[in-house]
Amino acid sequence: MTWGTELWDQFENLDKHTQWGIDFLERYSKFVKERLEIEQTYAKQLRNLVKKYCPKRSKDDEPRFSSCVSFYSILNELNDYAGQREVVAEEMGHKVYGELMRYSQDLKSERKQHLQEGRKAQQYLDQCWKQMDNSKKKFERECKEAEKSQISYDRLDNDINATKSEVEKAKSQLYLRTHSADESKNEYAAQLQNFNGEQWKHFNVAIPQIFKNLQDMDERRTVKLGETYRSFADVERRVVPIISKCLEGMVTAAKAVDQRKDSAIVVESFKSGFEPPGDYPFEDYSQNLSRTGSDNTISTPKNEGGVKPDPKHSISKTAKNKLWLFGKKPKAPSLEDFSHLPPEQRRKRLQARIDELSKELQKEVDQRDALNKMKDVYEKNPQMGDPQSLQPKISETMCNMEKLRSEIHKNESWLSEVEGKVSTRGDRRPSADVNHHAPHGRESPEGSYTDVPNQEHRSPPHQPDPRQAHQPDEFDDEFDDDDPLPVIGHCKALYSFSGQNEGTLLMKENEVLYIIEEDKGDGWTRARKQSGEEGYVPTSYVEIAMEKNSKDS
């Protein structure tokens, strides 16, 4: 069923219907726009809510209780949920609202074009009808004039008093009118035939085609609405799995709440390390009074030997302030060694400070090593820079290192005091080591590395044998957990080496390795691969190129 055949005479109604279809499309577009604005507002409010209840915190204010950690996890999940609402709004704006607005503009242009074609066809048909009507009216006039000429001629021809000239004149006039009437008749017939042909084309070709185009346009509009309805739902459905994960994360955070763990954190946070106070002795203030009462007067027992009560055990105002149990704890001034804190809290604060200072010291050590390497490069390649320009920075770095070492040593002394034992730098090497790159005894104050004789005992073989690869002794084990040794050179493998024995390193011919320890006379050199694997290789199997700093040392 097509509009061209069924609605051939409903041009005006089709005009109204197509306009209604475009208006409905724009109304739905407005609905989608308001919906995505709601999503944007909702997401923005959720993010503001998360920001309000999860403000920026310092490292000391990081949550420790499981209930707090779970709550902040829920806030993070809620923030992700808000992000998904923003995705919904963005997708609706791009795939639904934006598409509808572009399609609406295309429909308006197409509809305008089809209606203009219809109006032009109707105007052409009206023009043909007017030409036919004018020729018809002209034919009618000419026929009436011819009839009048016929009557006039017949009257003069029958009048005996009429002259011959008058009769000839009337006859000539009749001939002219009759001829004009015949021409008008032929013109009218031609115009009528032309109009009938154009009218048939109008209602059987032009109008059906125009109405069919309007019908196709309207049906495409309907299909487009259906697609955008589906897209509207698909946008929401695509974020459902991620939203479900956010909700699952909230449930997981809720299950992570552990009341026993929180109670233990409370104990760890506020434990003072003091022992509960003992019993206070009775203080008798009536000993200096004369006793005149009867024998059965109740009296307090005297101290044996007449010793006075120990003033240290007297209940004084100072002692009362130390109870702190149900009263207000006096506020002590903050001291550098944290001696104003209880022992347990003081120990934790000192340990945290030592760890922080150790990290700062490690940064300074890394900076010093980098500056020394840069200085070495400048010395080898003077065109790249002046080596002396780095000396002030190196000196400043060394000064900072000394200050940090002094601070670490001071805090370690306080920590040893708290722990009740004498501590040396070596006792807590991992937390306060001044150089994590080199083994003990290899670092000079200037940052160069020196060999310590008899650091480890190896019997040098007469000829390097892979089966007699160096086995690390107890001294090497001491540094197993330390940071890797610094690179002091490079080497290129001249031959392949299987490295099957423990402590040896597999290498292939032409492979480049880092040297981290020189040959001590036993025919073995300690090397490291680019992957980080370390071990010993035969010195005769490699071509060695040492760094300048290492050679100078």
Q: What is the mean pLDDT of the chain?
A: 79
pLDDT at 483: 60
- Measure the CA–CA gap between 100 and 472, rounded to whole angstroms: 76
Q: Indicate the pLDDT class of residue 42, thresholds 50, 70 and 90.
A: very high
User: Torsion over CA of 395, 396, 402 and 406, rounded to 10 degrees?
Assistant: 160
Write down the pTM of the prediction: 0.49
Determine the length of the chain.
Answer: 553
pLDDT in tens, 365-375: 998 898 888 88
pLDDT at 60: 63
pLDDT in tens, 305-353: 444 444 444 444 444 444 444 444 445 466 787 877 778 788 888 888 8
Check if the beta carbon of residue 542 is closer than 8 Å to that of residue 508. no
Q: Indicate the pLDDT class of residue 289, thresholds 50, 70 and 90.
A: confident
Nearest CA among 427, 415, 423 for reference residue 338: 415
pLDDT at 273: 73
pLDDT at 452 over 50: no
- Measure the CA–CA gap between 454 and 473, rounded to whole angstroms: 12
pLDDT in tens, 202-253: 989 998 999 999 999 999 999 999 999 999 999 999 999 999 999 999 999 9
Q: Which of 17-21, 35-39, 60-64 has the lowest mean pLDDT?
A: 60-64
Check if the beta carbon of residue 455 is closer than 8 Å to that of residue 475. yes
Q: Indicate the pLDDT class of residue 432, thresholds 50, 70 and 90.
A: very low
pLDDT at 124: 92
405 or 291: which leads in pLDDT: 405
Average the pLDDT over 273-299 and give the result: 68
Q: Which of 127-131, 166-170, 420-424 has the lowest mean pLDDT?
A: 420-424
State the DSSP string of 180-216. HHHHHHHHHHHHHHHHHHHHHHIIIIIHHHHHHHHHH
pLDDT at 333: 60
pLDDT at 243: 94
Check if the beta carbon of residue 47 is closer than 8 Å to that of residue 82. yes
482 or 53: which leads in pLDDT: 53
pLDDT at 475 over 80: no
pLDDT in tens, 77-92: 999 999 999 999 999 9
pLDDT at 428 over 50: no
pLDDT in tens, 176-187: 989 999 999 999
Q: Which of 294-308, 431-445, 513-527 has the highest mean pLDDT?
A: 513-527
256: three-class secondary structure by DSSP: coil
pLDDT at 459 over 90: no
pLDDT at 435 over 60: no
